[in-house]
Structure 1
Amino acid sequence: MGIELDDHSQFADYAHPERFVSAAWLSARLGMPGLRVIESDEDAFLYDIGHIPSAVRIDWHNDLNDPVQRDFIDGEAFAELMSARGISRDDTVVIYGDRSNWWAAYTAWVFELFGHPDVRILDGGRDAWMGEERDTSFAVPEYPRTEYPVVERQDAPLRTFASQLLAETPAQLIDVRTPEHYTGTEEAAQDGGVGTLRHGHIPGAINIPWGNSVFPNARLKGKDDIAQVYKDLDPVVPTVVYCQLGESAAHTWFVLKHVLGFEQASLYDGSWAEWGNMVRVPVEREGH
């Protein structure tokens, strides 16, 4: 059985309030049996300079990716990762991180690919916790090893591949990057991000930057404000999101799925890092 939900009034309006917790809720329950806290950052070393007490680290790059194939780990490797971190299948898992929870949302999405029953995001992530000057720790917790079951990853319907986009443009395709990256300006091409040989966007995509759903302090806006951002979209038709590397689009996927209740939201995790380096794929770019 999972731990009781956070009854914060803002979450009550969300389509899936069970997927969100506040810093106050989490602080009051640290150390509770059946609760595991995970930090997942863009900068994995942030964990070393202070983290939420009892939190373990999952490095999206080293822990979630297959060391040989360019893909996620399989069910056996995921079970080993969970067992080594002391996480059971029936644990409530709360994930947080830097960059407004980009990689925390990405990690939560991977957990959902493996069907972990109770995965939640700390609203505001690391910034919210540190901003409220809550307790931190340098200690790396050591939990007894568990026997997490081997559950094969189910990519459909939460994951979309380039081959699917080439075969058919989804009803709604959202590029969540900056307008400069979307239009493929020279400034965006030279900004030092993930290297791609072509710049622009996937034909048929509209541009709704991920940051429209959050406040400057990284916390999510209320449902009505977020709904206004996506007011021109249909929540019941297939909707695919992408960005540069998959991380900020995972944040948008989490918002669409769990705040607004989009029924067929999917993440193209290959994103522009893949599409912008592929041969003979269509690209739209401003002025071309």
Structure 2
Amino acid sequence: MKIQHYIGASFISTCLAVSAASAADSEFLVSTEWLENNLESEDLVVFEVSVNPGVYERGHIPGAVNVSWHTDLVDTVNRDIVSQENFQSLLRDAGVSEGDTIVLYGDTNNWFSAWGAWVFDIYDVANVKLLDGGRNKWEAEGRTLTPIAPTPDAGDITIASVNSELRAFLPDVLAAAKNEADVDVVDIRSADEYTGKIFAPPGVQELAVRAGHVPGAVNVPWGEAVAEDGTFKSVEELRQVYANVGINGDKPIITYCRIGERSSHTWFALSKLLGYDVSNYDGSWTEYGNAVGVPVANLSGTVWGGQ
């Protein structure tokens, strides 16, 4: 990594064979062991994308660059993802150059780092991986954390293209709801959100004036994609989880949640690990449930005010 070294070279060399074997486990995931053994790599850049305040500052993976989901990966005025120009500046400031391997991790089971992976994919950045199990697994294993923020040299990466096919918009979801498009829609929220029993998880600020789900959407809560330690289930297990509700990759898939972050985790599982054709609807329920005249399925019969 393009920062001060934190792990002895002798330790790295003894683990080289193990690292190579671990790296081959997945094109899009790395294990905590692999990351710890490769922190000194000159072509590795690590980003922490957490949502809880103070988590990064308290201690982070050595050399990890802090990325704020609410300011760095979105347009802070319009409801949109970060612009191409600003994203390129973010990566260059973090020391990313062409050909680097990028590892993302975060708290809350990688919800927001999966969002980061989705944004990286939209801008066609290569060699992007998630730390399987995220920050929670790294901490649970007692691996090194440091409060020292890195000061990387500027990188030279160029963001030259945008893959808009990875992003679904309200008209796309509305077409699916009206059976005007041959797509599968996966609602990854809790069962209570899906049925309309609650408008949103307790304590959240982003709300919709209607509860329920997109007609025709199936409900697979995001947590069904992970094991108890937060790592993704095996490919075989994941395939079965979604096949149980009729999702097998034979048609395009749209994922959504409330604001798009939990659904990016499912987007990652379906797209990167299973290889399905998936777009993430980042407008999600806060846009759809606030839109006028759209069809809504509400199994609980709630109305605004929770009645």
TM-score (norm 2): 0.85
Deviations 1:76-100 (CA, angstroms, capped at 9, x unpaired): 1111111111111321000000111
Cross-structure match for 1:241: 255
Tell me whether 1:255 sits opposite 2:264 in the alignment.
no
CA distance in 2, matches of 1:236, 1:189: 31
Pick aligned residue for 2:129 from 112, 120, 130: 120
How far is 1:221 from its partner?
1.5
CA distance in 2, matches of 1:65, 1:83: 17
Tell me whether 1:224 sits opposite 2:250 in the alignment.
no
Cross-structure match for 1:283: 296
- The answer to whether the Cα contact below 8 Å between 1:175 and 1:206 also exists between their aligned partners in 2 is yes
Cross-structure match for 1:146: 155
Pick aligned residue for 2:41 from 5, 13, 32: 32
- The answer to whether the Cα contact below 8 Å between 2:125 and 2:159 also exists between their aligned partners in 1 is no
Pick aligned residue for 1:183 from 174, 190, 195: 195
Cross-structure match for 2:185: 173
Change (3 A) 1:174 1:129: same
Change (3 A) 1:22 1:287: closer
Deviations 1:22-73 (CA, angstroms, capped at 9, x unpaired): 0000000102101000000121421011100000011111001113322112
Tell me whether 1:94 sits opposite 2:97 in the alignment.
no
Structure 1 segments (4+ residues) deviating >6 Å: none
How far is 1:103 from its partner?
0.6
- The answer to whether the Cα contact below 8 Å between 2:199 and 2:207 also exists between their aligned partners in 1 is no
CA distance in 2, matches of 1:145, 1:249: 32
The amino acid of 2:264's aligned partner reads A
Deviations 1:104-149 (CA, angstroms, capped at 9, x unpaired): 1110110000000110000000011001000111000001112321
Q: Percent identity?
A: 38
CA distance in 1, matches of 2:278, 2:82: 22
- The answer to whether the Cα contact below 8 Å between 1:6 and 1:21 also exists between their aligned partners in 2 is no
Deviations 1:169-197 (CA, angstroms, capped at 9, x unpaired): 44210000010000001x45573332211
CA distance in 1, matches of 2:195, 2:237: 26
Change (3 A) 1:170 1:162: farther
Tell me whether 1:196 sits opposite 2:205 in the alignment.
no
The amino acid of 1:89's aligned partner reads E
Change (3 A) 1:92 1:285: same
- Greater shift, 36-45 or 126-135, is seen at 36-45
Pick aligned residue for 2:226 from 195, 214, 227: 214
- Greater shift, 190-199 or 130-139, is seen at 190-199
1:1-150, aligned counterparts within 5 Å?
7-8=21-22, 12=25, 17-150=26-159
Cross-structure match for 1:162: 170
CA distance in 2, matches of 1:261, 1:42: 28
Bigger Rg, which one? 2
The amino acid of 2:271's aligned partner reads K
- The answer to whether the Cα contact below 8 Å between 2:124 and 2:159 also exists between their aligned partners in 1 is no
- The answer to whether the Cα contact below 8 Å between 1:6 and 1:20 also exists between their aligned partners in 2 is no
How far is 1:6 from its partner?
5.6
Structure 1: stretches of 5+ with no match in the other structure: none
Deviations 1:200-238 (CA, angstroms, capped at 9, x unpaired): 001110111110111222111122222210123221311
Change (3 A) 1:149 1:220: same
How many residues of Structure 1 are paired with residues of Structure 2 in the alignment? Answer: 278
Structure 2: stretches of 5+ with no match in the other structure: 1-15, 302-307
The amino acid of 2:289's aligned partner reads G
How far is 1:258 from its partner?
1.7
- The answer to whether the Cα contact below 8 Å between 1:170 and 1:240 also exists between their aligned partners in 2 is no
CA distance in 1, matches of 2:221, 2:181: 20
Change (3 A) 1:270 1:6: farther
